[in-house]
């Protein structure tokens, strides 16, 4: 065991004073940060009134919206006529087409109609005098003969009785609304209806094998157009999913991001040389340009898009302009800071040979900054692909506007899911390509 005497201890304290004579900040800095974080969290909870916000939130809507992203519904309506017959009607743009004959709807010999909502466990039988709803192990008759529908027997928890109708909630499978003269059924299916061909297509509701056979070697459906061309037109002009319009808007978004980033980088590049103190020794010019970059960056891209939309009208031009202005400020700042941090030795060496300023910049500065500049520009381009989607929602064109229009209807959530997935795929592709290019330029390996 080694014993350290007083002189040795004093020598160690003199050599390493930072370990033995710490300041108040060094000793209690971590604790102070923790306390400040807790206090700020409590303040945020009070300021935003989070307990009330969480208590009053409509959490049930989350499940409803998510289910609508991956499903669709069919809404047949059964009208009970005066003669006792039952007339079946579908909405004008039903996913089943103009002449539906679904196998989950059965006409019984006694004139009633049975609809399978979810197999045999949840069914609805409609007759002229009553409607029987079978679900959750119960069969509940609803009398529709008289002034108002009336549940026969106890009312289960999944049924709600109103003055003029009875609503049966059958969960994800759908629901039933029963009134005196009509029964409305909402039956839900997993998947996206008519994603390839809509109800107006010549290929609608045909098996995959038959469609392939028609395209490859079948007789022409339209004498003046091949079946392959007809199939492509039907897919591209699908009235329900609007593939052509969606993909065109997606391409507009990509072009907006590319054009705005390209113009911003081309504008910021020469201005950055004038803003860098070590390149242009004019303090007034340096400060003016740096404040100009700050101004362009401080106004959010969304605000620029609103201004330009008012000036030029809705469309991709306003979106490209908003990205251009924002990127001029962002890349100008990044470029100028990169120039101010270069190694001046190569530049001074070339300048000492009497070379012109252009050559000094070309051989003394450019080799150091080009990989950094390109890497920063690629990152901004990748980020602007996402940003272009957001600004599209305020009228700047692209798929963002299309996405906002679908969300405003509060009914086409499967179309919203389709566009969100496309955006995610595009962002993933650009992110992967941008990372690969940046690592290659910087000479690093991708992990």
E strand or H helix that includes residue 6: helix 6-15
Residue 266 pLDDT:
94
**pLDDT by residue (tens digit) across 228-249?**
999 999 999 998 899 999 999 9
Give the whole-angstrom CA distance, residue 391 versus residue 323: 9
Which residues, including other chains, have CB under 8 Å from residue 214's CB and lie 6 or more apart?
A: 203, 206, 221, 227, 231
R_g of the chain computed on alpha carbons: 34
φ, ψ of residue 190 to 5 degrees: the values are -75, 140
Q: Which residue matches tokens 């609304």?
A: 177
Residue 39 pLDDT:
94
Give the whole-angstrom CA distance, residue 289 versus residue 267: 12
pLDDT at residue 118 above 90?
Answer: no
pLDDT band at 188 (very low <50, low <70, confident <90, very high): very high
Q: What is the distance between the terminal CA atoms of the chain, rounded to a whole angstrom?
A: 47
On whether the CB atoms of residues 374 and 441 are closer than 8 A, the answer is yes
| Token pair belonging to 78 | 């059964």
Residue 57, classified by CB atoms within 10 Å of its CB into exposed (0-12), middle (13-18) or buried (19+), is exposed
> Counting runs of H as helices and runs of E as strands, what totals does the chain give?
16, 13
Which residues, including other chains, have CB under 8 Å from residue 179's CB and lie 6 or more apart?
A: 144, 149, 164, 165, 166
Of all residues in the chain, the percent with pLDDT exceeding 90 is 30
On whether the CB atoms of residues 314 and 251 are closer than 8 A, the answer is no
pLDDT at residue 300 above 70?
Answer: yes
**pLDDT by residue (tens digit) across 208-231?**
899 899 888 888 888 888 889 999
CA distance to 130, 134, 153, per residue, from 138 (Å): 16, 6, 11
| Token pair belonging to 325 | 């202005």
Give the whole-angstrom CA distance, residue 301 versus residue 308: 10
pLDDT at residue 386 above 80?
Answer: yes
On whether the CB atoms of residues 273 and 339 are closer than 8 A, the answer is yes
Give the whole-angstrom CA distance, residue 375 versus residue 368: 12
**pLDDT by residue (tens digit) across 38-92?**
999 999 999 888 888 888 888 777 777 788 888 888 999 999 887 778 899 988 8
On whether the CB atoms of residues 188 and 118 are closer than 8 A, the answer is no
Residue 19 pLDDT:
62
E strand or H helix that includes residue 415: helix 413-442
**pLDDT by residue (tens digit) across 275-287?**
988 888 888 998 9
pLDDT band at 327 (very low <50, low <70, confident <90, very high): very high
φ, ψ of residue 326 to 5 degrees: the values are -65, -45
On whether the CB atoms of residues 112 and 183 are closer than 8 A, the answer is no
Q: How many CA atoms lie within 13 A of 302 on its CB side?
A: 8
**pLDDT by residue (tens digit) across 387-427?**
888 888 777 778 888 888 888 877 778 888 999 999 889 88
Pairing of strands 182-190, 77-80: antiparallel
Looking at per-residue confidence, does 119 or 265 come out higher? 265
pLDDT at residue 3 above 70?
Answer: no
Burial 102-136 (b: 16+ CB within 10 A, else e): eeebeeeeeebbbbbbbeeebbbbbbbebbbbbbe
On whether the CB atoms of residues 75 and 90 are closer than 8 A, the answer is yes
Render 196-254 in DSSP notation, one character per residue.
Answer: SS-TTSTTTT--HHHHHHHHHTSPPSBTTB-HHHHHHHHHHT-TTT-HHHHHHHHHHHH
pLDDT at residue 443 above 80?
Answer: no
Angle CA 264–269–273, to nearest 5: 145
């Amino acid at each position: 065991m080694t014993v350290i005497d007083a002189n040795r201890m004093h020598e160690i304290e003199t050599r390493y004073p930072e370990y033995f004579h710490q300041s108040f900040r060094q000793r209690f800095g971590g604790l102070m940060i923790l306390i400040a974080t807790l206090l700020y969290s409590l303040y945020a909870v009070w300021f935003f009134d989070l307990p009330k916000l969480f208590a009053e939130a409509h959490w049930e809507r989350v499940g409803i919206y998510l289910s609508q992203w991956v499903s669709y519904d069919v809404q047949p309506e059964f009208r009970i006529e005066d003669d006792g017959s039952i007339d079946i009607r579908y909405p004008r743009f039903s996913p089943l087409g103009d002449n539906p004959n679904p196998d989950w709807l059965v006409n019984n010999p006694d004139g009633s109609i049975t609809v399978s909502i979810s197999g045999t466990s949840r069914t609805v039988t409609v007759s002229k005098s009553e409607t029987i709803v079978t679900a959750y192990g119960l069969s509940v008759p609803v009398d529709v003969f008289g002034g108002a529908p009336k549940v026969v027997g106890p009312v289960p928890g999944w049924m709600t009785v109103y003055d003029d109708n009875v609503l049966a909630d059958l969960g994800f499978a759908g629901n039933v609304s029963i009134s005196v003269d009509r029964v409305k059924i909402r039956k839900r299916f997993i998947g996206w209806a008519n994603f390839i061909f809509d109800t107006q297509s010549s290929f609608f509701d045909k098996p995959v094998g038959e469609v392939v056979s028609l395209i490859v070697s079948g007789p022409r459906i339209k004498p003046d157009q091949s079946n392959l061309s007809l199939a492509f037109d039907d897919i591209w002009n699908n009235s329900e999913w609007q593939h052509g319009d969606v993909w065109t808007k997606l391409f507009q978004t990509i072009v907006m991001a590319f054009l705005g980033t390209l113009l911003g980088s081309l504008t910021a590049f020469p201005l950055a040389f004038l803003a860098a103190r070590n390149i242009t020794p004019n303090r007034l010019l340096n400060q003016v340009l740096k404040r100009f970059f700050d101004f362009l960056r401080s106004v959010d891209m969304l605000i620029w898009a609103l201004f330009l939309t008012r000036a030029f009208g809705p469309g991709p031009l306003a979106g490209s302009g908003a990205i251009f202005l924002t990127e001029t400020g962002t890349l100008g700042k990044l470029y100028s800071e990169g120039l101010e941090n270069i190694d001046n030795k190569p530049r001074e060496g070339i300048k000492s040979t009497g070379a012109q300023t252009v050559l000094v910049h070309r051989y003394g500065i450019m080799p150091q900054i080009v990989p950094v500049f390109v890497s920063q520009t690629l990152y901004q381009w990748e980020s602007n692909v996402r940003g272009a989607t957001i600004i599209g929602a305020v009228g700047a064109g692209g798929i963002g506007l299309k996405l906002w229009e679908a969300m405003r209807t509060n009914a086409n959530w499967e179309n919203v899911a389709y566009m969100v997935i496309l955006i995610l795929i595009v962002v993933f592709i650009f992110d992967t390509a941008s990372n690969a290019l940046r690592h290659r330029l910087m000479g690093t390996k991708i992990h």
